[in-house]
């Protein structure tokens, strides 16, 4: 018997659940990857994520070729290609890992139907998360919508079985022997390089492993203290690897459980729990993809000023911590978590722009863009989400800047025009414009004046939310 293994957001050979099952249950496994036109065609022609996937697929293909097999790579409609390849290779089943996004679920329904016509089952397995769908539920068998009790149960159940590796790497000799075939270049797919090389991210399984080891050796024990300071290398930077599955999420949990016991590893595990939490939330409440979780906030009268939105996108709001963060995003495809919270709060509660505008902008720019955590993060910051920041808690960007970038190291790195200024002046530059001018920074010339006044906007935001609560 033969099986097809369909790689999607699991671009690795080690500890890959569905791959392990295909190799042990069927053997003679034909690996395939489809560049899905339905996803790729609407994207801009320069897209860092497509570049990352292309590099990760190329690396996977090279490893499979070393093993005497290959990765069959196609470009087109994924469902059509999967059904066609399954027929060509006369397989008895197609194996793949579950995907919980609404569009991906719909695609799998179509794939199962197209294969069903040929009597070929689509077998899917949990791989992307530690606990999926309805595995962690309340006593009343309802999905959790509050993180703390979810996390408590999640953590209690995080034993050996939950994080055990699936032994795909032990059975690679069972891969089908295949002649080497070419794969389409990035240009052939219709894309241009988008600066992945400059990010120095190694888009491969080995690159993910190295990043995990670096984090566990150097930073995990101090994670709870360092994680909020964007100028420190305090977090793992593994999110892009989690997005594309160049590392197993179980490997991350195993590494944390094996690390020195303490707040560092526990806090990091909590972040992995947040990730699972948002995945199960999107699964149970797919409407959050387009609507506030708290439906009473559907009619908020966001002001949606396009000029303010453009200033935010381009990092010229006059609030250095916000601007530096946006420049980090625009130039590298990454943004530190503390800064994601600050800029999301600023867009929604200072600029009074609909969180969905920001969510969509992040989706375009972030290398680690993932629908569940991105939507969860935005709805948290905008106070429209479940277990979100209460609407009256509004970050003061200047106080956030003082607390989390006290020496303005991060700000100065991304806003070189401010490099010579005294750090103390950079949390609220408009309050110190003459001192700032003395250090060579003229507001309105070298760096923008603030586009809004925080105190005024804070009041307007409270009014905007209260109107909804009173109706």
Cα 277 to Cα 66: distance, rounded to the nearest angstrom: 38
Cα 313 to Cα 322: distance, rounded to the nearest angstrom: 10
Cβ contacts of 1 within 8 Å, gap of 6 or more: 26, 27, 28, 91, 92
Q: What is the DSSP string of 257-320?
A: HHSPSSHHHHHHHHHHHHHHHHHHHHHH-GGGGTS-SSGGGTT------HHHHHHHHHT-SS-H
Number of H helices, E strands in the chain: 22, 5
Of 26 and 344, the one with the shorter C-beta distance to ligand FAD is: 344
Least distance (Å) between residue 458 CB and ligand FAD: 19
Of 125 and 274, the one with the shorter C-beta distance to ligand FAD is: 274
- What is each CA distance from 227 to 215, 222, 262, 401, in whole angstroms? 12, 8, 15, 15
| Residue 326 engages ligand FAD in binding (rule: CB under 6 A) | no
Of 230 and 448, the one with the shorter C-beta distance to ligand FAD is: 230
- The single-letter DSSP state of residue 429 is G
| Residue 369 engages ligand FAD in binding (rule: CB under 6 A) | yes
| Residue 381 engages ligand FAD in binding (rule: CB under 6 A) | yes
Of 292 and 448, the one with the shorter C-beta distance to ligand FAD is: 292
| Residue 246 engages ligand FAD in binding (rule: CB under 6 A) | no
Least distance (Å) between residue 366 CB and ligand FAD: 5
Q: How far apart are the first and last CA of the chain?
A: 63
User: Which listed residue (97, 235, 383, 457) binds ligand FAD by CB under 6 A?
Assistant: 235
Contact string (CB under 6 A) for ligand FAD, positions 184-223, x = contact: ----------------------------------------
CB distance 189 to 35 below 8 Å: yes
| Residue 267 engages ligand FAD in binding (rule: CB under 6 A) | no
Select from 44-52, 77-85, 101-109, 336-344 the region that touches ligand FAD (CB under 6 A).
336-344
Select from 41-49, 189-197, 371-379, 425-433 the region that touches ligand FAD (CB under 6 A).
371-379
Sheet holding 93-97, edge to edge: 72-76, 29-36, 3-7, 93-97, 122-125
Cβ contacts of 330 within 8 Å, gap of 6 or more: 313, 314, 315, 365
Least distance (Å) between residue 168 CB and ligand FAD: 21
Residues binding ligand FAD: number (CB under 6 A): 27
| Residue 404 engages ligand FAD in binding (rule: CB under 6 A) | no
By the criterion CB under 6 A, which residues form the site for ligand FAD? 227, 235-239, 242-243, 271-272, 274-275, 278, 337, 340-341, 344, 362, 366, 368-370, 373-374, 377-378, 381
């Amino acid at each position: 018997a033969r099986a097809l293994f369909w790689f999607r957001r699991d671009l690795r050979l080690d500890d890959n659940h569905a791959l392990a099952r295909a190799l042990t249950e069927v053997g003679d496994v034909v690996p395939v990857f489809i560049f899905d036109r339905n996803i790729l065609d609407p994207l801009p022609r320069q897209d860092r994520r497509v570049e990352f996937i292309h590099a990760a697929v190329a690396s996977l293909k090279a490893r499979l070729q070393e093993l005497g097999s290959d990765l069959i790579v196609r470009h087109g409609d994924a469902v059509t290609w999967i059904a066609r390849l399954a027929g060509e290779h006369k397989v008895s089943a197609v194996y793949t890992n579950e995907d919980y996004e609404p569009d991906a679920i719909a695609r799998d329904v179509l794939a199962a139907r197209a294969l069903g016509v040929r009597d070929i089952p689509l077998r899917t397995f949990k791989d992307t998360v530690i606990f999926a769908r309805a595995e962690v539920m309340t006593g009343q068998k309802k999905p959790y919508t509050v993180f703390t009790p979810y996390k408590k149960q999640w953590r209690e159940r995080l034993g050996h079985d939950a994080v055990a590796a699936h032994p795909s790497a032990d059975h690679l000799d069972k891969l089908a022997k295949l002649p080497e075939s070419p794969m389409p270049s990035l240009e052939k797919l219709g894309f241009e390089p988008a600066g992945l090389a400059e990010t120095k991210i190694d888009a491969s399984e080995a690159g993910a492993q190295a990043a995990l080891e670096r984090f566990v050796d150097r930073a995990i024990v101090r994670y709870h203290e360092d994680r909020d300071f964007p100028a420190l290398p305090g977090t793992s930077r593994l999110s892009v690897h989690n997005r594309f599955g160049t590392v197993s999420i179980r490997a991350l949990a195993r590494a944390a459980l094996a690390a020195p016991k303490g707040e560092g590893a526990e806090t990091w595990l909590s972040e992995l729990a947040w990730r699972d939490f948002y995945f199960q939330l999107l699964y149970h409440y797919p409407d959050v993809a387009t609507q506030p979780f708290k439906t009473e906030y559907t009619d908020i009268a966001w002001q949606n000023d396009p000029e303010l939105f453009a200033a935010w996108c381009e990092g010229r709001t006059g609030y250095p911590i916000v601007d530096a963060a946006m420049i980090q995003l625009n130039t590298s495809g990454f943004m530190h978590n503390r800064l994601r919270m600050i800029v999301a709060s600023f867009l929604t509660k200072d600029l009074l722009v609909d969180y969905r505008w920001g969510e969509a902008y992040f989706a375009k720019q972030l290398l680690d863009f993932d629908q569940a955590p991105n939507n969860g993060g935005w709805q948290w910051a905008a106070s429209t989400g479940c277990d979100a920041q209460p609407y009256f808690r509004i970050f003061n960007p200047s106080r956030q800047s003082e607390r989390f970038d006290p020496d303005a190291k991060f700000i100065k790195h991304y806003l070189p025009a401010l490099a010579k200024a005294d750090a103390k002046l950079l949390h609220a530059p408009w309050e110190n414009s003459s001192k700032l001018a003395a250090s060579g920074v003229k507001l309105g010339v070298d760096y923008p004046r603030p586009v809004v006044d925080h105190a005024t906007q804070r009041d307007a935001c409270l009014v905007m939310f209260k109107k909804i609560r009173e109706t």
